[in-house]
Amino acid sequence: MATLSTAQTSDFDQSVQPPHHPVLLAKATEIDFGRQDIDKALRIASALQTTLDIQKIIEIFIFEVRRWVSIDGAQFTYEEQQLNLSIGHQYDNSLTYPLSIPKQALGEITFMRSKRFTAAENKTLKYLLCSLVYPLRNGLSYEKALQAALKDPLTGIHNRAAMNTSLTREVDLARRHQTPLSLIVIDLDYFKRINDTLGHDAGDQVLQHVANTLLDTIRGSDMVFRFGGEEFAILLTNTDKKGAMQLAQRIRRAIEKNAIKLNEEKIISTASLGAACLSADDSEKSLFQKADKALYAAKAAGRNCIRFR
Protein backbone atom coordinates (compact mmCIF):
# COMPACT_ATOMS: atom_id res chain seq x y z
CA MET A 1 0.00 0.00 0.00
CA ALA A 2 1.44 3.36 -1.01
CA THR A 3 0.76 6.66 0.70
CA LEU A 4 0.95 10.32 -0.13
CA SER A 5 2.04 11.94 3.10
CA THR A 6 0.89 15.29 4.43
CA ALA A 7 4.52 16.46 4.51
CA GLN A 8 4.62 16.44 0.73
CA THR A 9 2.32 19.46 0.53
CA SER A 10 2.78 21.04 3.94
CA ASP A 11 5.31 23.71 2.90
CA PHE A 12 3.04 25.48 0.45
CA ASP A 13 0.28 27.99 1.07
CA GLN A 14 -2.45 27.97 -1.58
CA SER A 15 -3.25 31.60 -0.91
CA VAL A 16 0.34 32.53 -1.89
CA GLN A 17 0.88 30.18 -4.80
CA PRO A 18 -1.83 28.61 -7.01
CA PRO A 19 -2.13 24.85 -6.50
CA HIS A 20 -1.54 24.16 -10.20
CA HIS A 21 1.71 26.16 -10.36
CA PRO A 22 4.51 23.99 -11.86
CA VAL A 23 6.93 24.80 -9.06
CA LEU A 24 4.36 23.77 -6.43
CA LEU A 25 3.65 20.51 -8.22
CA ALA A 26 7.31 19.67 -8.64
CA LYS A 27 8.23 20.51 -5.04
CA ALA A 28 5.11 18.88 -3.62
CA THR A 29 6.33 15.45 -4.60
CA GLU A 30 10.01 16.19 -3.97
CA ILE A 31 10.75 14.56 -7.31
CA ASP A 32 12.44 16.19 -10.27
CA PHE A 33 9.96 15.95 -13.14
CA GLY A 34 10.49 17.25 -16.62
CA ARG A 35 8.44 19.73 -18.59
CA GLN A 36 6.32 17.00 -20.12
CA ASP A 37 5.38 15.64 -16.69
CA ILE A 38 4.56 19.12 -15.43
CA ASP A 39 2.28 19.59 -18.45
CA LYS A 40 0.46 16.38 -17.50
CA ALA A 41 -0.32 17.71 -14.04
CA LEU A 42 -1.26 21.13 -15.40
CA ARG A 43 -3.66 19.53 -17.87
CA ILE A 44 -5.36 17.59 -15.07
CA ALA A 45 -5.47 20.60 -12.73
CA SER A 46 -7.07 22.69 -15.46
CA ALA A 47 -9.71 20.03 -16.18
CA LEU A 48 -10.56 19.68 -12.49
CA GLN A 49 -11.31 23.39 -12.16
CA THR A 50 -14.46 23.01 -14.30
CA THR A 51 -16.71 21.57 -11.57
CA LEU A 52 -17.34 21.43 -7.82
CA ASP A 53 -19.23 18.13 -8.00
CA ILE A 54 -17.20 15.47 -6.16
CA GLN A 55 -18.32 12.62 -8.39
CA LYS A 56 -17.35 14.56 -11.52
CA ILE A 57 -14.02 15.65 -10.01
CA ILE A 58 -13.06 12.03 -9.34
CA GLU A 59 -14.32 10.88 -12.75
CA ILE A 60 -12.38 13.62 -14.59
CA PHE A 61 -9.24 12.84 -12.61
CA ILE A 62 -9.42 9.11 -13.38
CA PHE A 63 -10.11 9.83 -17.06
CA GLU A 64 -7.06 12.07 -17.29
CA VAL A 65 -4.77 9.77 -15.26
CA ARG A 66 -5.59 6.88 -17.58
CA ARG A 67 -3.69 8.71 -20.32
CA TRP A 68 -0.46 7.82 -18.50
CA VAL A 69 -1.24 4.96 -16.10
CA SER A 70 -3.47 1.98 -16.86
CA ILE A 71 -6.26 1.86 -14.28
CA ASP A 72 -9.26 -0.50 -14.28
CA GLY A 73 -11.06 0.92 -11.28
CA ALA A 74 -10.88 3.47 -8.49
CA GLN A 75 -12.59 4.21 -5.20
CA PHE A 76 -12.72 7.47 -3.25
CA THR A 77 -13.85 7.56 0.38
CA TYR A 78 -14.29 10.47 2.78
CA GLU A 79 -15.83 9.35 6.07
CA GLU A 80 -16.49 12.83 7.44
CA GLN A 81 -19.13 13.43 4.75
CA GLN A 82 -19.98 9.73 4.29
CA LEU A 83 -18.79 9.75 0.69
CA ASN A 84 -17.95 6.47 -1.00
CA LEU A 85 -17.57 6.70 -4.78
CA SER A 86 -16.58 3.82 -7.04
CA ILE A 87 -15.55 3.90 -10.70
CA GLY A 88 -14.85 0.94 -12.95
CA HIS A 89 -14.03 -2.55 -11.72
CA GLN A 90 -12.49 -3.70 -8.43
CA TYR A 91 -9.35 -5.86 -8.38
CA ASP A 92 -7.01 -7.16 -5.68
CA ASN A 93 -4.01 -5.29 -7.07
CA SER A 94 -4.34 -1.79 -5.71
CA LEU A 95 -2.58 1.32 -4.50
CA THR A 96 -4.18 3.48 -1.78
CA TYR A 97 -3.21 7.10 -1.13
CA PRO A 98 -4.37 9.22 1.83
CA LEU A 99 -5.13 12.72 0.54
CA SER A 100 -4.52 15.85 2.57
CA ILE A 101 -3.53 19.49 2.59
CA PRO A 102 -2.12 21.30 5.63
CA LYS A 103 -4.43 20.80 8.63
CA GLN A 104 -7.13 19.01 6.62
CA ALA A 105 -7.59 15.38 5.64
CA LEU A 106 -9.42 14.85 2.35
CA GLY A 107 -10.14 11.13 2.47
CA GLU A 108 -8.32 8.53 0.45
CA ILE A 109 -8.30 7.20 -3.08
CA THR A 110 -7.55 3.66 -4.24
CA PHE A 111 -6.50 2.68 -7.76
CA MET A 112 -7.13 -0.91 -8.88
CA ARG A 113 -6.35 -3.14 -11.84
CA SER A 114 -5.83 -6.79 -12.77
CA LYS A 115 -2.02 -6.65 -12.76
CA ARG A 116 0.41 -5.22 -10.21
CA PHE A 117 1.45 -1.58 -10.35
CA THR A 118 5.11 -0.83 -10.97
CA ALA A 119 7.30 1.43 -8.87
CA ALA A 120 7.40 3.94 -11.74
CA GLU A 121 3.59 4.00 -11.91
CA ASN A 122 3.39 4.51 -8.18
CA LYS A 123 5.75 7.47 -8.54
CA THR A 124 3.65 8.95 -11.37
CA LEU A 125 0.39 8.54 -9.46
CA LYS A 126 1.86 10.27 -6.41
CA TYR A 127 2.87 13.16 -8.59
CA LEU A 128 -0.44 13.47 -10.44
CA LEU A 129 -2.40 13.36 -7.19
CA CYS A 130 -0.94 16.75 -6.30
CA SER A 131 -3.18 18.23 -8.99
CA LEU A 132 -6.24 16.66 -7.33
CA VAL A 133 -6.01 17.78 -3.71
CA TYR A 134 -7.02 21.45 -3.99
CA PRO A 135 -9.88 20.97 -6.48
CA LEU A 136 -11.01 18.13 -4.23
CA ARG A 137 -10.81 20.39 -1.17
CA ASN A 138 -12.97 22.97 -2.94
CA GLY A 139 -15.49 20.32 -3.98
CA LEU A 140 -15.72 18.90 -0.46
CA SER A 141 -16.26 22.39 0.97
CA TYR A 142 -19.04 22.98 -1.55
CA GLU A 143 -20.63 19.61 -0.75
CA LYS A 144 -20.46 20.38 2.97
CA ALA A 145 -22.23 23.71 2.39
CA LEU A 146 -24.93 21.98 0.35
CA GLN A 147 -25.46 19.37 3.05
CA ALA A 148 -25.63 22.05 5.76
CA ALA A 149 -28.30 23.92 3.79
CA LEU A 150 -30.47 20.79 3.82
CA LYS A 151 -29.99 19.89 7.49
CA ASP A 152 -31.91 21.08 10.54
CA PRO A 153 -29.23 22.61 12.80
CA LEU A 154 -30.93 21.52 16.04
CA THR A 155 -31.62 17.84 15.35
CA GLY A 156 -29.19 17.11 12.51
CA ILE A 157 -31.89 15.51 10.35
CA HIS A 158 -33.06 16.85 7.00
CA ASN A 159 -35.06 20.09 6.93
CA ARG A 160 -38.09 21.30 4.98
CA ALA A 161 -36.06 22.28 1.92
CA ALA A 162 -34.67 18.76 1.75
CA MET A 163 -38.18 17.35 2.20
CA ASN A 164 -39.55 19.39 -0.71
CA THR A 165 -36.70 18.26 -2.95
CA SER A 166 -37.06 14.62 -1.90
CA LEU A 167 -40.83 14.65 -2.36
CA THR A 168 -40.51 15.94 -5.91
CA ARG A 169 -37.84 13.37 -6.76
CA GLU A 170 -39.58 10.38 -5.15
CA VAL A 171 -43.01 11.18 -6.62
CA ASP A 172 -41.41 11.29 -10.06
CA LEU A 173 -39.58 7.99 -9.47
CA ALA A 174 -42.69 6.29 -8.09
CA ARG A 175 -44.66 7.27 -11.19
CA ARG A 176 -41.88 6.25 -13.56
CA HIS A 177 -41.40 2.81 -11.98
CA GLN A 178 -45.04 2.40 -10.87
CA THR A 179 -44.07 1.72 -7.26
CA PRO A 180 -46.00 2.75 -4.11
CA LEU A 181 -44.96 5.80 -2.11
CA SER A 182 -46.19 6.82 1.34
CA LEU A 183 -45.78 9.81 3.60
CA ILE A 184 -46.19 10.05 7.39
CA VAL A 185 -46.40 13.41 9.17
CA ILE A 186 -45.91 13.61 12.94
CA ASP A 187 -46.79 16.29 15.47
CA LEU A 188 -45.73 16.10 19.12
CA ASP A 189 -48.73 16.40 21.43
CA TYR A 190 -48.92 19.41 23.74
CA PHE A 191 -45.33 20.38 23.01
CA LYS A 192 -46.00 24.02 23.90
CA ARG A 193 -46.50 22.98 27.52
CA ILE A 194 -42.89 21.79 27.69
CA ASN A 195 -41.57 25.13 26.47
CA ASP A 196 -43.89 27.06 28.78
CA THR A 197 -43.19 25.05 31.95
CA LEU A 198 -39.60 23.82 31.51
CA GLY A 199 -38.15 26.35 29.09
CA HIS A 200 -37.03 26.27 25.47
CA ASP A 201 -33.78 24.47 26.26
CA ALA A 202 -35.80 21.54 27.58
CA GLY A 203 -37.98 21.72 24.49
CA ASP A 204 -34.90 21.57 22.27
CA GLN A 205 -33.65 18.48 24.10
CA VAL A 206 -37.01 16.79 23.63
CA LEU A 207 -36.93 17.53 19.89
CA GLN A 208 -33.43 16.09 19.63
CA HIS A 209 -34.51 13.03 21.59
CA VAL A 210 -37.53 12.46 19.35
CA ALA A 211 -35.41 12.91 16.21
CA ASN A 212 -33.02 10.22 17.46
CA THR A 213 -35.97 7.97 18.27
CA LEU A 214 -37.26 8.36 14.73
CA LEU A 215 -33.84 7.56 13.27
CA ASP A 216 -33.65 4.42 15.44
CA THR A 217 -37.14 3.30 14.39
CA ILE A 218 -37.32 3.87 10.64
CA ARG A 219 -35.91 1.53 8.00
CA GLY A 220 -32.73 2.19 6.07
CA SER A 221 -34.64 3.27 2.95
CA ASP A 222 -36.89 5.75 4.79
CA MET A 223 -36.16 9.48 4.93
CA VAL A 224 -36.91 11.58 8.00
CA PHE A 225 -37.34 15.37 8.07
CA ARG A 226 -38.12 18.13 10.54
CA PHE A 227 -40.34 20.55 8.63
CA GLY A 228 -41.72 22.68 11.48
CA GLY A 229 -41.29 23.46 15.16
CA GLU A 230 -42.40 20.11 16.59
CA GLU A 231 -43.43 18.59 13.28
CA PHE A 232 -41.64 15.76 11.51
CA ALA A 233 -42.23 13.82 8.31
CA ILE A 234 -41.10 10.44 7.03
CA LEU A 235 -41.04 9.56 3.34
CA LEU A 236 -41.40 5.84 2.64
CA THR A 237 -40.33 4.62 -0.79
CA ASN A 238 -41.85 1.45 -2.26
CA THR A 239 -44.31 1.30 0.65
CA ASP A 240 -48.09 0.86 0.50
CA LYS A 241 -50.79 1.67 3.06
CA LYS A 242 -50.21 -1.48 5.12
CA GLY A 243 -46.47 -0.85 5.42
CA ALA A 244 -46.98 2.84 6.21
CA MET A 245 -49.49 2.11 8.98
CA GLN A 246 -47.23 -0.55 10.52
CA LEU A 247 -44.30 1.85 10.63
CA ALA A 248 -46.48 4.67 11.94
CA GLN A 249 -47.61 2.44 14.79
CA ARG A 250 -44.01 1.52 15.65
CA ILE A 251 -43.08 5.20 15.66
CA ARG A 252 -46.02 6.18 17.87
CA ARG A 253 -45.14 3.49 20.40
CA ALA A 254 -41.41 4.31 20.33
CA ILE A 255 -42.02 8.01 21.03
CA GLU A 256 -44.36 7.21 23.91
CA LYS A 257 -42.04 4.55 25.34
CA ASN A 258 -38.74 6.46 25.11
CA ALA A 259 -39.12 9.04 27.85
CA ILE A 260 -36.39 11.63 28.38
CA LYS A 261 -35.03 12.58 31.79
CA LEU A 262 -34.34 16.31 32.32
CA ASN A 263 -33.22 17.69 35.68
CA GLU A 264 -34.48 14.62 37.53
CA GLU A 265 -37.84 14.98 35.77
CA LYS A 266 -39.08 12.28 33.45
CA ILE A 267 -40.79 13.66 30.36
CA ILE A 268 -43.04 11.34 28.40
CA SER A 269 -43.94 12.57 24.94
CA THR A 270 -46.69 11.35 22.67
CA ALA A 271 -47.40 12.12 19.05
CA SER A 272 -50.25 12.28 16.58
CA LEU A 273 -49.56 10.85 13.13
CA GLY A 274 -51.17 11.18 9.71
CA ALA A 275 -50.39 8.88 6.80
CA ALA A 276 -51.17 8.96 3.10
CA CYS A 277 -50.23 7.09 -0.07
CA LEU A 278 -49.55 8.49 -3.51
CA SER A 279 -52.51 8.03 -5.84
CA ALA A 280 -52.72 8.36 -9.61
CA ASP A 281 -53.74 12.03 -9.58
CA ASP A 282 -51.50 13.18 -6.71
CA SER A 283 -48.68 15.70 -6.92
CA GLU A 284 -46.06 16.07 -4.20
CA LYS A 285 -48.15 18.95 -2.83
CA SER A 286 -51.42 17.01 -2.71
CA LEU A 287 -49.68 13.98 -1.15
CA PHE A 288 -48.44 16.17 1.68
CA GLN A 289 -51.85 17.81 2.05
CA LYS A 290 -53.51 14.39 2.42
CA ALA A 291 -51.07 13.32 5.13
CA ASP A 292 -51.49 16.68 6.88
CA LYS A 293 -55.29 16.34 6.90
CA ALA A 294 -54.91 12.85 8.32
CA LEU A 295 -52.73 14.33 11.07
CA TYR A 296 -55.42 16.85 12.00
CA ALA A 297 -57.93 14.00 12.10
CA ALA A 298 -55.65 12.20 14.57
CA LYS A 299 -55.53 15.31 16.74
CA ALA A 300 -59.31 15.64 16.63
CA ALA A 301 -59.63 11.98 17.64
CA GLY A 302 -57.82 12.62 20.93
CA ARG A 303 -54.13 12.63 19.94
CA ASN A 304 -51.53 9.89 20.43
CA CYS A 305 -53.08 7.97 17.53
CA ILE A 306 -52.80 7.48 13.76
CA ARG A 307 -55.17 8.34 10.96
CA PHE A 308 -54.92 7.52 7.24
CA ARG A 309 -56.31 9.57 4.39
CA-wise closest residue to 272 among 195, 188, 211, 191: 188
Instruction: Say whether 191 sits in a helix, a strand or coil.
Output: helix
Active-site positions read: 230
Running DSSP on this structure, what letter comes out for residue 117?
P
Q: Assign residue 30 a region (left: φ > 0; alpha: ψ between -120 and 50; beta: otherwise).
A: left
Length of the chain: 309
**Among residues 253, 244, 252, which one has the least CA distance to residue 183?**
244
Q: Taking the mean position of all CA atoms in its chain, how far away is CA 117?
A: 33
Task: Name the DSSP class of 194.
Answer: H
What region, left, alpha or beta, does residue 199 occupy, with left being phi > 0 and alpha being psi -120 to 50 degrees? left
**DSSP element (H, E) containing 215:** helix 200-217
